[in-house]
Structure 1
Amino acid sequence: MQNILKRYFGFDSFRPLQEDIIGKVLAGHDVVVLMPTGGGKSLCYQVPALMKEGTTVVISPLISLMKDQVEGLRANGVPAAALNSANDEAESARVRAACLRGELKLLYISPERLMLELPYLIRDMKVSLFAVDEAHCISQWGMISGRSMPNWDC
């Protein structure tokens, strides 16, 4: 865990509670994380994403947040991409293909796009985790196809 924190994010130590939260996620527990803006919530799913086999699907309604997260992760050598309404069809096709080939560690996706992609893309991917990066997503999108999604992290 410490190696990933240093290698990909440049930090020598975790903030309070992050290491405990990450341990629970890695142990397979469903986790809800409430922290202030800038409190380090994203690391609580990004570190496990890099430690687990498969792709972590991060549901976020904010395209600008997705863009910032993906750019930051790519700059740090983490394979990440986003599927949202800002993509043209060619970019969406490239992202889908990368997902199916198992090339991404993190896929950021809008709730609307998740609903469209769930029957096809997500079914054929190896998903390691689902994370919700904004708490208000849970109240609006917390149930998908009548089933609760596992490992919601906010």
Structure 2
Amino acid sequence: MTERTAKAARRARVLDDIDLRLLRALWMDGRARVRVLARDLALADSAVSVRLRRLREQGVLAGVHAEVDPAVLGLTTQALVMIRLSPNTDSRAYEERLRTMRSVLGAVALVGDFDLEVHLACRDMADLERSVTALRDAGAESTHTQLIARTVAGLGQALLTEEEPA
């Protein structure tokens, strides 16, 4: 078991039903006020505040983030680009380069046939082509691009259920 896996297992043991309900409520509305969370959980405001502080300190609650719809910004063409890095490309340097690219929404490092999967949001097909070219020029040996037809919303909440995963 890796150190990261061991830490995750320890975190899982410290979460009780109330913690899970609190995390689910934040997942649904990250801007929920402590008073509203307390009312919904039938707890005192101070009890919710203590739990939130503990969850942050333990690294369980890593943050609450705003989700911006790229289409509102005129970025209506989205794609996933699988990237195989050139042998002489440093993966950390490539990841730093991704942080400077306006069209990059996110990326995950992979183990397998490809090194990275990059999520792009672009204005149109010409912008997508320029973005993929920039990914290649930054040190990709090859790319495989798939257009996103639609995003499936509301996933991830099952992580916070009490049942064992299937």
TM-score (norm: length of structure 1):
0.23
Q: Which has the higher contact order (CA 8 A, sep 6+)?
A: 1
Larger Rg: 2
TM-score scaled by structure 2? 0.22
